[in-house]
């Protein structure tokens, strides 16, 4: 369980890092917090000749508040994001999901950008980003690209990033007043990759749900944005929300697969259960009133 022989590059500027990727292209891998890449290297499942470590690019480690929301540096660790007041206030769904990411030692090193660029559909952050319609900022030899979440996650561990591009930050829009968010997941053990996970962010205004964003982990090659459920829940007063119908709508469209840890039927059913729970909790947080889950 030793990686193949590779060259380790430790650039100190973004330009230098981009130049390295431009030079080595498909033979290079970007190293962020290393919580996914290092095991892949050690298992020899990833066999890059060059590893470009972003650890010295301190500019990617900052979180900035903007007029519209916040920009998370790609190299911000989960732990830093979890402790951030800006994240708690401007990205409550992200804040709700972060404690579910693995265990504390992983969160101390793993990065927000690393998880998103890795694009694991079982991970929490891609789903959160998809629900929030966040925008990924990528820098490459051809300049800076802004990639909406809906276009970013292409398939299992595949994203819209080009081989010579580096994810530098994530723009998250500040939610309106009256917004609540919730995340939950079920795994065999705490901290495992979830069998299924669900996140929801709900905005209530003038007594009706005006905005619902729901995404699920673990049931497809990319995070599942549950628009079928969102449609049923939008424009409805919180007390009249039919969470069972929303859950069933999602169960009807998803096609999870089964494995050693859970059957496909289990995942499909529980995805609906978790969807109901996170919407109920998000509504409760948005309105200050309990709304019992199905």
Partner 1 sequence: MRPRRDGRRGCPVTATPSAPAAAAPDAHRYLSQEAGVREDRRFVAGRGRYVADVTPPGTLHVGLVTSPHPHARIVDIDVAEALALPGVVAVLTGAELAKSTEPLRQYLDVPEVQWRPLAVDATRYAGEWVAAVVAESRALAEDGAELVVVDYEPLPHVMDPEVAARADAPLVHPTHGTNVMAHREFAWGDVAGGRARAGATTTVRTRWNRNSTVPLETFGVVAAWDPHRELLDVWASIQMPQFPDQLAGALRIPTNQVRVHFDIDVGGSYGVKRGIKHGVLAGFLARRLGAPVKLIEDRSENMHGGDFHGPDRVFEVELAYTADGEFTHLRIDVIDDEGAYPGRSPLQLAKPIGAIVGPYRIPSVEYNATAVTTNKTGQVAVRGFGQSPTNYAIEAAVDAAARDLGMDRLELRRRNFIQPEEFPYRIPSGTEYDSGDYPAVVDKAVRAADLPALIERRDAVRAEGGLAGIGFAACLEPSGGNAIFENVMNPRNDKTTFPEGCRIRVDGEGAVTAVVSISSAGQSHDTMVATLVGEELGVDPAGITVLRADSLAGFPSQSPVGSRMAIVLGQAIRGAADELKARLCAIGAHQLGLAPDEVRYDRGSVVAHADPDAAVGWRDLVAIAHRKQHLLPPGASPGLEVVHVAHTPRSGTLAEPDGTVQLYPCYSFEVHVVLAEIDPGTAKVELRDYVIGHDCGTVLNPEVVRGMVYGGTAHGIGVALYEQFAFNPDGQPLTQSFIDYLLPSAHEVPDIVDVEHCTPSPYTTFGQKGAGEAGYMGAPAAVAGAVNDALTARGAAPVHSLPITPSDIWSALRATREEGPQ
Which residue ranges make up the site for partner 1 (CB under 8 A)? 1-5, 39, 43-44, 186, 188-193, 195, 260-263, 265-266, 269-270, 273-274, 277
What tokens appear for 85 in the block?
């007041």
Closer to partner 1 by Cβ: residue 175 or 256: 256
Closer to partner 1 by Cβ: residue 149 or 196: 196
Closer to partner 1 by Cβ: residue 18 or 182: 182
In the complex, least distance from residue 244 CB atom to partner 1, rounded to whole angstroms: 12
In the complex, least distance from residue 135 CB atom to partner 1, rounded to whole angstroms: 31
Closer to partner 1 by Cβ: residue 102 or 163: 102
In the complex, least distance from residue 53 CB atom to partner 1, rounded to whole angstroms: 19
**Phi and psi dihedrals of 271, rounded to 5?**
-55, -40
User: Under a CB-based contact definition with an 8 Å cutoff, are residues 143 and 103 in contact?
Assistant: no
**CA gap 277, 285 in Å, rounded:** 12
Q: Classify burial at 214, counting beta carbons within 10 Å of its beta carbon; exposed 0-12, middle 13-18, buried 19 or more.
A: buried
In the complex, least distance from residue 188 CB atom to partner 1, rounded to whole angstroms: 5
User: Under a CB-based contact definition with an 8 Å cutoff, are residues 113 and 76 in contact?
Assistant: yes
Closer to partner 1 by Cβ: residue 56 or 188: 188
In the complex, least distance from residue 2 CB atom to partner 1, rounded to whole angstroms: 4
Handedness of CA 47, 154, 82, 170 (dihedral sign): positive
| CA distances (Å), origin 18, targets 83, 161, 162 | 30, 13, 11
Instruction: Give residue for tokens 């690209």.
Output: 145
Helix (H) or strand (E) holding 253: helix 243-253
Contacting residues for 142 by C-beta, under 8 A, at least 6 apart: none
In the complex, least distance from residue 193 CB atom to partner 1, rounded to whole angstroms: 7
Closer to partner 1 by Cβ: residue 156 or 231: 156
User: Under a CB-based contact definition with an 8 Å cutoff, are residues 115 and 153 in contact?
Assistant: no
């Amino acid at each position: 369980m030793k990686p193949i022989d590779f060259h380790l590059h430790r650039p100190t500027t973004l330009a230098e890092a981009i130049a390295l990727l431009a030079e080595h292209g498909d033979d290079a891998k970007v190293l962020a917090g290393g919580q996914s890449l290092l095991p892949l290297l050690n298992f020899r499942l990833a066999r890059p000749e060059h590893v470009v470590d972003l650890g010295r690019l301190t500019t990617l480690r900052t979180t900035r508040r903007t007029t519209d929301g916040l920009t998370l540096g790609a190299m911000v660790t989960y732990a830093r994001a979890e402790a951030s007041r800006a994240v708690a206030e401007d990205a409550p769904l992200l804040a709700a999901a972060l404690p579910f990411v693995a265990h504390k030692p992983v969160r101390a090193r793993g990065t927000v950008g690393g998880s998103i660029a890795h694009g694991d559909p079982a991970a929490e952050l891609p789903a959160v980003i998809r629900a929030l319609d966040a925008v990924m900022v990528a820098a490459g030899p051809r300049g800076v690209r802004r990639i909406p979440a809906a276009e970013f996650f292409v398939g299992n561990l595949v994203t819209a990033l080009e081989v010579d591009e580096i994810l530098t930050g994530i723009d998250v829009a500040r939610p309106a007043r009256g917004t609540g968010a919730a995340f939950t997941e079920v795994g065999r053990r705490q901290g495992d990759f979830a069998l299924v996970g669900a996140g929801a962010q709900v905005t209530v205004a003038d007594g009706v749900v005006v905005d619902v964003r729901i995404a699920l982990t673990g049931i497809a090659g990319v995070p599942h944005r549950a628009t079928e459920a969102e449609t049923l829940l939008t424009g409805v007063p919180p007390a009249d929300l039919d969470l069972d119908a929303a859950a069933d709508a999602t169960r009807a469209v998803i096609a999870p697969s089964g494995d050693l840890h859970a059957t496909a039927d289990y995942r499909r059913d529980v995805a609906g259960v978790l969807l109901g729970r996170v919407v109920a909790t998000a509504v409760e947080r948005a309105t200050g009133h309990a709304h019992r889950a199905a």
